[in-house]
Amino acid sequence: MLSYRHAFHAGNHADVLKHFVLVQLLEYFNQKDKPYWYIDTHAGAGCYSLDETFARKNAEFEEGVGRLLGRKDLPKELKSYLKLVRDLNPSGKLHLYPGSPCCAEPLLRADDKMRLFELHPADNRILNKTFADAGNKVMVLDQDGFTGINAFLPPQPRRALVLIDPPYEVKTDYRTVVAMIKESLRRFPSGTYMVWYPKLHSMQSRELPEKLKRLPGISWLNVSLDVQKPSEDGFGMHGSGLFIVNPPWTLPATLKKVMPYLVSVLGIDDGAKFEMEFKID
């Protein structure tokens, strides 16, 4: 299915969690001089106009990143992520929001590379246009990232951060994520893999992190942010989570500091909360 467009949800609470943590991981990778690859299996359009119909339909960014910009009490760990947003909006008004590729690209160094997978024709065209001048640093692929990633593992520099961020419109995506992580670890066991997942009523969304925890011999961290109680009718996303394989040892302390702040700022009702557990060797 190719009906999903992330532009409807750009800058919402799930993007805040995902992109804040993504920036933390990239900054950790940058502490070593050795180059690395950033691989995105479902890259989307790369950057999103918040003035267009898609984004304006529900204006989810107003309850997400819009609640953070302009605050004076920000934890310092959020500032690098929010600087990326501000740099796209020099007027101070929120017109553009950086998707994962546009959060990653400014942090990459001269020898680091991006590999971006996107099947949706319209988003793929936008992605190609966005990175048209990036040369061989960025490769945009019109392929299924679940399987296309195999051609790049292990990467040449033997360092990589992989974001797996499917829309989960197809229920089999949950099973495919687990199978892909298993195969990726077989090919490249030392890679860092970040899986985004929605928090829904569905059994598949609740079971995904539990299945990933049971993968043998891995270090992992699972963090989730609920912004509201689950709806009584069973519809809608009340939060989201990230499951990270081979996370930095520094990440738990960062999240313990920042997640309570995100709950307080992004929470909609008394169901707002965060949960975190990890096993880091």
| pLDDT tens digits along 63-117 | 999 999 989 999 999 999 999 999 999 998 999 999 999 999 999 999 999 999 9
3-state secondary structure of 194: strand
pLDDT value for 175? 96
DSSP secondary structure letter of residue 262: H
> Could you tell me which CATH number the domain at 24-46+107-279 has?
3.40.50.150
Angle, vertex CA 258, rays to CA 232 and CA 19, nearest 5: 75
> What pLDDT digit, counting tens, does each position of 181-197 carry?
999 999 999 999 999 99
59 phi/psi in degrees, rounded to 5: 45, 50
> What pLDDT digit, counting tens, does each position of 218-239 carry?
999 999 999 999 887 777 899 9
> What pLDDT digit, counting tens, does each position of 24-76 carry?
999 999 999 999 999 999 999 999 999 876 555 678 999 999 999 989 999 99
Please give the C-alpha separations between residue 52 and each of 59, 174, 267, in angstroms, as whole numbers: 10, 31, 26
Above 50 in pLDDT, residue 3? no
pLDDT value for 57? 65
Mean pLDDT of the chain: 93
% of the chain with per-residue pLDDT over 70: 96
pLDDT value for 153? 98
248 phi/psi in degrees, rounded to 5: -65, 145
Above 50 in pLDDT, residue 1? no
Mean pLDDT, rounded, for 269-277: 96
pLDDT value for 56? 59
- Active-site positions read 165
Calpha distance 203→112 (Å, rounded): 38
pLDDT band at 254 (very low <50, low <70, confident <90, very high): very high
- Whole-model pTM? 0.95
- Write down the residue that tokens 């942010």 correspond to: 225
Please give the C-alpha separations between residue 56 and each of 59, 69, 181, in angstroms, as whole numbers: 5, 18, 35
* Strand pairing class (113-117; 273-279): unpaired
Structure tokens at 52: 């267009």
Mean pLDDT, rounded, for 240-269: 98
pLDDT value for 53? 63
pLDDT value for 81? 98
pLDDT value for 35? 98
pLDDT band at 2 (very low <50, low <70, confident <90, very high): very low
- Write down the residue that tokens 């998707």 correspond to: 99
pLDDT value for 202? 86
pLDDT value for 169? 87
Structure tokens at 149: 């990633």
* Strand pairing class (160-164; 192-199): parallel
203 phi/psi in degrees, rounded to 5: -60, -35
The residues pairing with 49 across neighbouring beta strands, listed in sequence order, are 96
Residue 54 or residue 266, greater confidence? 266
pLDDT band at 201 (very low <50, low <70, confident <90, very high): confident
Calpha distance 202→82 (Å, rounded): 32
Query: In 3D, which of 132, 245, 270 has the Cα closest to residue 182?
Result: 245
27 within 8 A of 84, measured Cβ to Cβ: no
% of the chain with per-residue pLDDT over 90: 86
Helix or strand holding residue 66 (H, E): none
